Chains A and B, each alone.
Chain A
Amino acid sequence: MKWVLLGLIIGATVMSDVLQSHEMKRAGAQSVGLRGLGRLLREIAARRYLILAIGCMAVSFFSFMALVQREPLSFAVPASAASFVVETVMAKLVLKERIGTKRAAGTLLVLCGVVLVAR
């Protein structure tokens, strides 16, 4: 059961993050001050891919709730970070981000850390 929940968390997180990043870049710079939050909520309501992203985030979140009840927090949080690899590849292929040597090396180090933490 724990691996099914983890798979759900990772799949839904990747989908949600790629959609969020794509749509938020199109929405322009946002903030989370009082006025900024209002504008951000209006942007979310006006963009269907952002609503879909939040739906995916909800699936990921409820799976996380079930996982954290069964497994230690110090396993659940780092293990769900396996989505890192897929998301970084998607950022390059779908979002056309430039991932230089330093960023790639840093991301690999983070990934090694996540694998160690999740053991």
Chain B
Amino acid sequence: MQENGVSMELEAPEARRAGRGVAVFALVLLFIGLKAVGNLSLAWGMKHQAEALSANPLGYVLAMANPFAALGVAMLILALLTRMALLSRADLSYVLPVTAIGYVLATAMGRFVLHETVSGARWAGTVFIVIGAAMVSSTEQTTTGGGEAR
């Protein structure tokens, strides 16, 4: 009985840590998805704007009248909030490389959706990013004691 109790006590922090790990990965995936689709929508909207943006702030407000630009902005705001939640649970030096997979998605969407030219070096770069992000994602998510619920 006591043995059971001890084993449960030992398992509880492990289970909590595993739960936190799953929550961090879910936030990473949500952030990457929102950022990729948001950037694509914003780029699509901005490229279909007649006037080039200058230092005049009114131009930026008017640019958001384009539905694709507005949708992109909304998704990027949600992505920002998701990233803030992510930073409350994991190190900045962990979040940065792991979310870099988004750069690979941006390159792929630039090539296949917006029909931009993507060189061999650029594709090689995306492979480096994937390998580097995979290495960092296998390290501890937080080294400063963050991620504890208040």
A residues contacting B by CB (< 8 A) are 17-18, 20-21, 24-25, 27-32, 36-37, 40-41, 44, 50, 54, 57, 61-62, 65-66, 68-70, 72-74, 76-78, 81, 84, 87-88, 90-92, 95-100, 102-103, 105-119
Is the CB–CB distance between A44 and B43 below 8 Å? no
Is the CB–CB distance between A116 and B122 below 8 Å? yes
Give the interface size class of chain B.
35 or more
A-B contact count (CB 8 A): 212
Q: List 5 A-B contacts (CB under 8 A).
A: A29-B23, A54-B80, A68-B39, A72-B114, A116-B122
Q: How far is the CB of A72 from chain B (nearest CB, A)?
A: 5
Q: How far is the CB of A28 from chain B (nearest CB, A)?
A: 3
Cα of A84 to Cα of B136 in the assembled complex, Å: 13
- Tell me which residues across on chain A come within 8 A of B134, comparing CB atoms: 106
Chain B residue at minimum C-beta to C-beta distance from A44: B84
Cα of A118 to Cα of B129 in the assembled complex, Å: 12
- Given A18-B92, A78-B106, the answer on whether A70 and B125 have CB atoms closer than 8 Å is no
- Given A106-B132, A106-B136, A110-B97, the answer on whether A91 and B92 have CB atoms closer than 8 Å is yes
- Tell me which residues across on chain A come within 8 A of B147, comparing CB atoms: 29
